[in-house]
């Protein structure tokens, strides 16, 4: 039986854990606080399609309780990964794969990227300060995962599925590996869509394209996606950011298959939704600025690309977050 630990059994992590359990995997969860207490008392609840199902899964706030795994899926904020390296160690055997189900540019991004730039085989300082994750976990363990579903924690121990069921998987090397094939098969057996894509970085950037444009504008204004996309000045600002981000991505070999206007229209069609960065502000949670924005600007600097619009909006967002006590500059 394949052993999978979900490190960060929040909304997305809980949804993934339930699906993998349905597929027959031996699933364990790393969680904390009232959420962990509720999972231990009543099992992990998943509300989907008007039906709530409870799953009795091993859960702990101490990874050493859970043993070595075949897969560790990191379902936490990307900027917090360096903080949990010591907690990961007890879960890792010689062949354990570490799957980053995170937003933004992942810590392993330039492993086997073959961009032909000086960035190849180097860690991203914005998400992996000092290269500690790269050096101690090792990029050879890493597989990529782009997360599309929307879920929320309705109450401690209960995850509510809102929309979507696709998790795109891929290797940094662009190979069709057995380990990703196995995980994809498990996720599909659990009722998810889990395509294995050789060009996983293209998938990362298409999602990041929206994250580093709509997210800051929503965070600064409090507006929903549809409001931003229908406001002429905000739409023009998003377009300018996307133009700069596309130039940065193309400089490291990314293929953008969707025109900018179509990408904006797709986000604008989602009525009444505020991106995660604005949700974090309203909930008083630390902001995920570095993987979504700072890492992109790090690439721009390394490549000699100006990106003035993104840089100015990033400055506003960081000052706002610092003022609210939700972000600290490195």
Catalytic residue list: 207
Q: What is the DSSP letter of 287?
A: P
Q: Are 147 and 74 in contact (CB under 8 A)?
A: no
State whether residue 148 is helix, strand or coil. Answer: coil
Which tokens sit at 87?
């907690």
State whether residue 280 is helix, strand or coil. Answer: helix
Instruction: Find the length of the chain.
Output: 330
Q: Are 3 and 68 in contact (CB under 8 A)?
A: yes
Tell me how far the alpha carbon of residue 204 is from its chain's centroid: 9
Helix (H) or strand (E) run with residue 5 in it: strand 3-7
Which tokens sit at 63?
């990874």
Residues 197, 180: Cα–Cα separation, whole Å: 10
Q: Within 13 Å of residue 222, how many CA atoms lie on the same side as its CB?
A: 2
Q: What is the DSSP letter of 195?
A: -
Residues 254, 233: Cα–Cα separation, whole Å: 28
State whether residue 285 is helix, strand or coil. Answer: coil
Backbone CA torsion sign across 85, 89, 90, 95: positive
Task: Tell me how far apart the terminal alpha carbons of the chain are, to the nearest angstrom.
Answer: 42
Q: What is the DSSP letter of 279?
A: H
In this structure, what are the phi and psi dihedrals at residue 316, rounded to the nearest 5 degrees?
-65, -45
- Using alpha carbons only, give the angle 306, 307, 309 rounded to the nearest 5 degrees: 135
- Using alpha carbons only, give the angle 50, 51, 57 rounded to the nearest 5 degrees: 140
């Amino acid at each position: 039986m394949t052993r999978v630990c979900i490190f960060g059994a929040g909304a997305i992590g809980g949804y993934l854990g339930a699906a993998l359990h349905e597929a027959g995997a031996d699933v364990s969860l790393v969680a904390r606080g009232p959420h962990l207490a509720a999972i231990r008392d009543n099992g992990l609840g998943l509300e989907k399609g008007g039906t709530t199902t409870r799953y009795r899964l091993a859960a702990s706030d101490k990874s050493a309780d859970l043993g070595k795994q075949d897969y560790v899926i990191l379902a936490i904020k990307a900027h917090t990964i360096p903080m949990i390296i010591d907690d990961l160690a007890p879960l890792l055997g010689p062949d354990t794969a570490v799957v980053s189900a995170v937003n933004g540019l992942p810590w392993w991004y330039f492993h086997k990227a073959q961009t032909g730039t000086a960035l190849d085989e180097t860690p991203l300082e914005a998400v992996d300060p000092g290269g500690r994750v790269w050096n101690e976990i090792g990029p050879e363990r890493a597989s990529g995962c782009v997360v599309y579903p929307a879920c929320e924690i309705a109450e401690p121990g209960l995850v509510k599925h809102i929309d979507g069921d696709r998790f795109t998987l891929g290797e940094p090397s662009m190979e069709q590996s057995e380990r990703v094939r196995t995980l994809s098969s498990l996720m599909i057996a659990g009722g998810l869509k889990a395509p294995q894509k050789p060009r996983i970085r293209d998938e990362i950037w298409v999602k990041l394209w929206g994250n580093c444009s709509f997210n800051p504008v929503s965070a600064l204004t409090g507006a929903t996606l549809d409001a931003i996309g229908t406001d002429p000045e905000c739409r023009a600002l998003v377009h300018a950011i996307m133009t700069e981000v596309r130039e940065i991505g193309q400089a490291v070999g990314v293929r953008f298959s969707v025109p900018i206007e179509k990408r904006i229209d797709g986000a604008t069609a989602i009525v009444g939704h505020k991106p995660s960065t604005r949700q974090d502000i309203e909930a008083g949670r630390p902001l995920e600025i570095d993987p979504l924005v700072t890492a992109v600007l790090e690439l721009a600097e390394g490549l000699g690309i100006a990106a003035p619009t993104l840089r100015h909006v990033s400055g506003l967002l960081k000052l706002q977050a610092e003022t609210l006590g939700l972000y600290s500059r490195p």
